[in-house]
Amino acid sequence: MKNNGLQERFRSPTARLLAGLAITLAVVAAFCFYALHQIAGLRDLQNRTIERNRKDSLQLLRTQNDLSALGLAMRDMVSGDEPYPLYAWEAQFARTRKDIDDSIRLEADLTTFANSPERQAAFRRGLSQFWISTDQMFSLAREGMEPRARALVLNSLEPQQASLITAVSRLLVENNETQQKTAARVGAIYDGVENQIYWLFAAALGAIAFTSLMLIRANRIVFHEMEQLSEQRSGLARKLITMQEEMFRSISRELHDEFGQMLAALGTMLSRTRRQHCPPQLTADLDEIRGIAQDALDKTRSLTQTLHPSILDDGGLEEAIDWYLSVFEKQTGIRVALEKSGVSRQLEHRLGDDMPIHVYRVLQESLNNLARHSRSISAWVRVRFSNELLELEVEDRGIGLEPESQAKSRGLGMIAMRERAQLLSGKIEFLRPEKGGTLVRLHVPLHSRVTSPGNIHE
């Protein structure tokens, strides 16, 4: 139940936020597709309208030019300056009539005057009446009645031609007005689409901003809880390490003061008993028992030093390092070269009571890892003391470490070293030198160290 509650507490809102972001992006994409479709339709409408109006205007101008040409011909017919009879113009009128009929047929397919069909009908009726009058005029001219034919041209055909030109001009004006209305309609649609894009853009920005704020807020909550957990973990690790060192110190003291003294007393008693005219058959047994007791005493003292080296309290960190390296070489056969700079005894008042044991444990764990994993036959330990910094380095030429993520998987040893470095307000690094192997480097600042033994107690 506790695990379920913890999982519920730290359940990530990322899935919901990503779903909201996906919906927002889908809406934006759909509207963009709609806007592009609308714009494409508007562009096509605008292009088609402009092209139709252009072609329609060309046909109207063609009709107007033909009517003007007929007007010039009728002026020549009425003036009588030409030595030709009136019916000589009949072929010209026929060609012009054919061209006008063709232009009107094409214009009827292109026209967009849906609001004024009566003007088109009036124009066509007037044009039909004009051709009827023209036929009558040429009929009179062929019958030799040219005066009546000229009178018909002057009194009927010329006014009809002028009326037709006026009608064509009106159609051209209306064509231009229709083109302007179409442009205004297209502009209004463009404005509408633009306003919709602005609204959608504002809504999308609002949704993205809201989603981002929710994500930031959720991340801040998660990071705050992780920070609290990290502080709690650090506090717990600090207490555990402190309790561990106190327990090791207590067990070491008990072994040394109680069990060690008991074994030493037992050995003394056995030696005294042997010197007292003991029967020969018991001498060998007493020597064997005394050897066992001495071996147990030696192991007890070794265990005592392992749990908490008394030399660390008596001689300080520098002597403890010298002693441990000699013991390590004897136990593992690995040659260790020690390099020291600075004098630790001059800085004893700045090391405090907790710092030496933590530095010693880091050295101990580093060499143990070296012996277990590196396959190296030699190592280098460097200790540097300065007014501001204590630096410890343990280096080998073994198989080395992979990336740090793999180093973490080796066990709790490296985690404990990190915790100890953090307790000392320092920094520890696990590096791979250019020459190969592993380099463990510990930096501990001395300017913030205090001599109170409660530095790591809470």
pLDDT at 51: 75
Among 145, 166, 212, smallest CA distance to 67 is for 166
pLDDT at 403: 53
Taking the C-alpha atoms of residue 130 and residue 33, their distance in angstroms, rounded to an integer, is 55
Q: Which residues of the chain have pLDDT under 70?
A: 1-17, 20, 80-82, 110-116, 252, 255-260, 274, 277-278, 280-281, 305, 343-353, 401-411, 447-458
Cα atoms in the Cβ-side hemisphere of radius 13 Å centred on 317: 30
pLDDT at 381: 93
From residue 78, give the alpha-carbon distance in Å to each of 149, 157, 166, 413: 9, 11, 21, 124
pLDDT at 353: 67
pLDDT at 5: 47
pLDDT at 392: 92
What pTM did the predictor assign? Answer: 0.50
Contact 381/339 with Cβ under 8 angstroms? yes
pLDDT at 346: 55
pLDDT at 452: 39
Contact 385/342 with Cβ under 8 angstroms? yes
pLDDT at 349: 57
